[in-house]
Structures are given as structure tokens and as C-alpha cells.
Structure 1
Amino acid sequence: MFQIHAVTANQAQSIEQLSEHIVALLPYVDYVQIREKSRSPKAIAALIDQIAQHAPTHQLILNDRTDIALAMGIERVHLTESSLPLAALKNAFPSVQFGRSFHNGAQIRAQLPEYAYGYIGHIFQTRLKTDPPLGLAGLTAIAKEKRAGTLIAIGGIDEANIASIAPIVDGVAVMSGLFERSIAQSIAHAKSLKLLAEQAIIDARRTCGN
């Protein structure tokens, strides 16, 4: 099943506003990664508590903070470059599923099978990234290195280009496209991304079958 991950954009929204946005999106995406690096642990816990009052939390991924995840009953954590080693975390917290971001094919081949999922990007140019994007050719080459695991593309993915990458990966992660617009627009965008991706996968399978 093709996955859509919504990643919070670390904007200056109130906890109530962000919680409302996340709760509204949850039925239309597979996971929401809470990536609020400017918020305190107390504020992140308050956000999760606010979400939990209105929706189940099994679709939430918490960026980096395994301690907060355990305290708040979150099952998935997205590790960063500064996180503790995966082996140590798995040994200490066997109930938690861990993901992380990767940057090249060698990492994907060697390390992705150890994780619940891995992000790869950025695929297309975004205003937040100054280094060159991988592009479709780069993504295709990297995806061929995958031996096992769930590979999620991130960076500049929208309705105009998702069909070109959906047959190559297991899902996409979207930040600004799902959190820097109104709730109604975000829901419509999430639904459109899912439909376009699923149709592209069907078309690719038909082509391979001919």
C-alpha cells in the first residue's frame, strides 16, 4: 500500500491550531510526523495530548524524541543525525519502531532493512534546500539499491510530479503542501496525492504486463 506521510512544518501555530490541522488530516494520510524542533518537550507533549483527545495516536511519528514518545504512548520515532545509535535504542525500547532519513544508495542498501521505514530526498527543488535535488534519475538509481524495507521519497513532491515517482518508491512525505495551507486545502491535496499515486502505480503495472 502506497503511503502518504504528512510532516509538520515547524510553523508559529498555536498547539490548538496545529492539533486541529493534524486531526483533520489523519483520515487522509497514513502517518503524521510531528517535527516541531522549536517547541519544548512540554509543548510537544501537550500537542500530542491535544491530538489524543480527538483521534487515535497510532498514526503519529515523533521526530527524534524517543523519551517523549514513550511517555505519550507514541509507537514510532524518526531518528536524526544526532540521535543515539539504532542498536542501542532497539535494545532499550523494543516496542518502538524507528525510521530515519537517508541520502544515498549505499546507505539505503546497507541500513534501510534495519528500520521500519526510511526517507530519501530531497527529490525536487524546494525553497528550504539550497543543495541540488536528486531528481527522478537520482531517485531511480537509489531505489534500485533497496534490498528490503519501506522507502519514502521527500522534497518538493506535489500533484504535478507524484505520478512520476509513485511507481519507484513505497510512499512520499510532504511538508509544506499539507501544512502551509488551510485545512480544507490540505485535505483536498492529500486526497489528490493519494489518487494520483495509486493511478500511476496501476498504470505502471499495466505497462509492465504488456
Structure 2
Amino acid sequence: MKEIHLISDGKQNPVQFVQLAAAVQFIVDYIHLREKAMSARELIALTEQLIIAGVPPAKLVINDRIDVALAAGAGGVQLAWHSLPPAAARSVAPGLRLGRSVHAPEEAAESGRQEADFCLFGHVFPSACKPGQRERGLQQLAEAVRCSSIPLIAIGGIEPGNAGKVLATGASGIAVMSGICSAGDPVAAATAYRSAVQAVP
């Protein structure tokens, strides 16, 4: 089964995001908290609120903050380029599912060698979240998939209409931010992504 990762975009207040996440958590596989403006205390509180609202802890992935993930009982952490390397993170938190954000095939290969559990590769298509930055495209995505020994999740400008092309490269799933978080009906949007993913042979 191809995965869908929902990435928070920092535009909702905590109450709004908890409501959104609780509504779509039955449709998506993982929910990443990418809240760069929040303190550790605020992130822990948000994680706890999500769990109380019914989001399984195993579905929650905290961006960068291993300490928050451990303290709040989240299932995983997403490591950025400036974070601890996966091998070092594994020694600190052996029970967490470790993701690594990568932007080139060689970085995807290195993430596997360092024993990350998966990597996020992007951005694949032009994205409002990365204005002015050139997209990697499907060819680089396919190359990264070939280089990676671990599941690779594609991110960046992915819509239900192009998800099939993304997954045809061999990617193990897609990550979505504004496509769900900024949708007028997040549940309908998440359902459209799930239908697109399920349509892939």
C-alpha cells in the first residue's frame, strides 16, 4: 500500500489543526508536525492534544525535534539537513521511526546507509511552499528511487491528478501539505488523494 503523509503548514492555530488532523487521520498514514515557529513546550502540547483527539501516536511524526517526539510519545521524527544524522538519531532514540528529508539521489542513498526508515524527496513539482526554487522533476525522483535502499516518499506540488505519475517512478508514497491543509474541505481532499493512490497498480 502506497503511503500518504500529511505535513502541517503552520497556518492553522492548534485547535484548527487538531480538528483537521482528527478528521483526516483515518485517510492518511502519517501526520507530520512541521511547526517551526513553535517552542518545544508548544509542540509537546500540540502532540498531546492530537493524541487526545484520537490520532494514534504511531502516526505522528515530529519535524527535527527528537526530544519532543520522545517526551510526547510520538511515533517518529523527520530529520532535516541540519538535524542529527540518522545514525546518531538512532543511537539516541532507537524506538522512533526515522525519516530524512533529501533533495538529491545521492542524499537518498546516504540516508539508507545511515539506517533511516524512509526519506522525503522533493520538491518534485513547482510548489507554493518553495517559491522561486526549481523543482526536481520526475526524472530526478526516479533516479532517487533507484539509489535509495529505503522507502522514498515524494513531496512538492503533488495533486490527485499527478499522483499517479509520481508513484509510477517507484516512490513508496506521497507527502501533501497545502493540498489538504489549505483545502476548503480537507476530508474531501484527503479522500481524493487516497483514491488517486489506490488507483495506481
Counterpart CA distance in 2 for 1:131 and 1:28 is 30
Counterpart CA distance in 2 for 1:110 and 1:128 is 25
In the TM superposition, what is the alpha-carbon distance from 1:132 to its structure 2 partner?
Answer: 1.2
1:1-210 matches, cutoff 5 A: 1-11=1-11, 13-55=12-54, 56-112=56-112, 114-129=115-130, 130-146=132-148, 148-168=149-169, 169-182=171-184, 185-200=185-200, 202=201
Counterpart CA distance in 2 for 1:136 and 1:92 is 35
Counterpart CA distance in 2 for 1:6 and 1:188 is 14
Q: Is the 8 A contact 1:15 1:46 kept in 2?
A: no
Change (3 A) 1:86 1:136: closer
Could you list the per-position Cα deviations for residues 38-82 of structure 1 after superposition, in whole angstroms to 9, with x for gaps in the alignment?
A: 111111111111111121221110001111111111120001122
Matched letter for residue 149 of structure 1: I
Matched letter for residue 30 of structure 2: Y
Counterpart CA distance in 2 for 1:160 and 1:70 is 37
Using structure 1 for the length normalisation, give the TM-score.
0.88
In the TM superposition, what is the alpha-carbon distance from 1:164 to its structure 2 partner?
Answer: 0.8
Secondary structure of the corresponding residue to residue 147 of structure 2: coil
Counterpart CA distance in 2 for 1:136 and 1:45 is 36
Query: Identity percentage over the alignment?
Result: 31
In the TM superposition, what is the alpha-carbon distance from 1:117 to its structure 2 partner?
Answer: 0.8
Matched letter for residue 57 of structure 2: T
Matched letter for residue 29 of structure 2: D
Counterpart CA distance in 2 for 1:151 and 1:189 is 22
Secondary structure of the corresponding residue to residue 81 of structure 1: coil
Q: Where does the alignment leave 5 or more consecutive residues of structure 2 unmatched? A: none
Secondary structure of the corresponding residue to residue 88 of structure 2: helix
In the TM superposition, what is the alpha-carbon distance from 1:107 to its structure 2 partner?
Answer: 1.7
Q: Is the 8 A contact 2:104 2:140 kept in 1?
A: no
Could you list the per-position Cα deviations for residues 82-108 of structure 1 after superposition, in whole angstroms to 9, with x for gaps in the alignment?
A: 212322221122111211111111122
Q: Is the 8 A contact 2:100 2:111 kept in 1?
A: no
Q: Is the 8 A contact 1:166 1:198 kept in 2?
A: no
Which of structures 1 and 2 has the bigger CA Rg?
1
Over aligned residues, Cα RMSD in angstroms?
1.4
Using structure 2 for the length normalisation, give the TM-score.
0.92
Counterpart CA distance in 1 for 2:138 and 2:86 is 29
Structure 1 outlier segments of 4+, above 3 Å: none
